[in-house]
Amino acid sequence: MSQYDTDDAPRLGGAQKLSLLDAVAQSIGFVGPVFSIAFLVPLLVGLTSASGRGAGDAAPLAVVLASIGVLALGWIISEYARRISAAGSLYDYISDGLGSRVGGTFGLLYYVGILALGSGLAVMIGGTIHDTLDAEFGSAVLPEGLWDLVVIGLVGAILYFGVAFSTRAQLVLALLSVATVFVFSLYVIVKVGGDNDLGRALSPSSSETGFSGVLFGVLYGVLLFTGFETSANLGEETEHPKRDIPRAVLISVLLVAGFYFIATYAQVAGFRFDLGAMGDAAGGPLFALASSADDGGFGSTAVRRLLELVVVLDMLAVLIGCAVAASRGLFALARDRRLPSALANVSPRSTPLNATIVVLGLYLLTTAVTLWVPGFVELTGPDGAPLGLPHYVSVFSWMAALGGFALALIYLVLSVGAVRGLADHAQPWKVYLAVFVSILVTGAAIFGAIYKVPTPTIYVVWTTLAVFVVSLVLTFVSPGVEPTGHEWDDLNPADQGPQKL
């Protein structure tokens, strides 16, 4: 396979370089911890899972176990980030471990998954703003379609001003939302007082089905961390990538894990360990806890509205993160001649110009189809009956399932490839341990994504298979160049040296 001189390869970053804080903001911004904690705790508990199984009151324990598994995967990614600094991130890492054809195939699948997540979220944000304003104040101000355009336009403007501006926008949005929900969670725990029971939250027996139920909570819990690795996409744009990207990946996992533990426990304890009460508020338990005391909550109308606002802000941070990661991925694939070379065009601000335009265009296309094709995606329950969800929720849920499933597959393949890719590691036992744990948890996440999942969500599996086949064909038709050739001298200063955690 051919390889070209990196001096001739288009690259990102220019004179403006990112810091460790920027890289952390990208990862946490993509994960969207506030958005996840606002809606997905009932999934961990088992109230909204298709299998009907979950961790019950032991949901915080499931979060701890899922965090350990994701940390193992994060360690593998951080070790690769010490060796390879390129916009393709996981695509480059898989290529290093399993060869460029396998890397190219799964690289295309990886970024299709990220595009799906972002497309669904763009629709979700516009619809959420519209319906929330209408419910709270009696007027949505703008039609839903215009809110969608406002959201996509805002993201486009943020990306236009450069990656430093976008990561700092994510940082501000994430800090505001995470800090608000974290403080409220601590407040709930304090108000629960003598009814707190940490031992119950950490005991497998608290699940109605024992430890097997906790394991179901774990496999759903892993999906909460989806995108934690996306700071690696900024490898070419970070001032000290081989030092800061590994740190950013691991710091992001630890910070998000701590937040998830506190916020999950606050919800379980806030409902007094009563799954029935949480089930009555399964559509948004965080907002139920934020309601007034007269409605069984710990807040007020103002507090509930504040949390609704910060959840939307966190969703916006996630959308920015998706757009940043997807545009860098399309750029990297085009630079390696696996996609049309026009996508490797770099703007005067040293950002992937055409790739960003394509990403925003796909967001607009998804929005248009959602608004113009009634019933584009309509989710049903296990009995086949429609769930009656708002159309934008159904579209987001399906797109998120597609993106989450695709990314879980990538994590699994990356873990397998690490046996070869990190074979020369100074302490091979660390590699084998991390590979074992990460394969275990990513395999569980894949199982959780397909187990007893009803139509049309189960079509996610077939769609992913179709994308994989197309990616495989494209990889053989256009084999491209070796992605691991991208090593620029200014990204590997001698003062960094080899580092191990």
Question: For 103-157, how does the pLDDT look when each residue is reduced to its tens digit (9 = 90+)?
Answer: 889 989 999 999 999 999 999 999 999 998 998 888 889 999 899 999 999 999 9
What sections of 6-162 are H helices per DSSP? Answer: 20-31, 33-39, 41-45, 59-81, 90-98, 100-137, 144-160
| pLDDT tens per residue, range 256-304 | 999 999 999 999 999 999 888 888 887 789 999 999 888 888 999 999 9
Sorted by sequence, the CB contacts under 8 Å of residue 352 that are 6+ apart come out as 12, 87, 327, 328, 330, 331, 343, 344, 345, 346
- Does residue 189 carry a pLDDT above 80? yes
Query: Exposed/middle/buried for 82, CB within 10 Å: 0-12, 13-18, 19+?
Result: middle
Q: Is residue 163's pLDDT more than 80? A: no
pTM for this one?
A: 0.87
Q: Can you give the pLDDT at residue 11?
A: 63
Structural tokens at position 375: 């019933």
Residue 188's nearest CA partner among 278, 122, 75 is 278
Over residues 81-106, mean pLDDT: 84
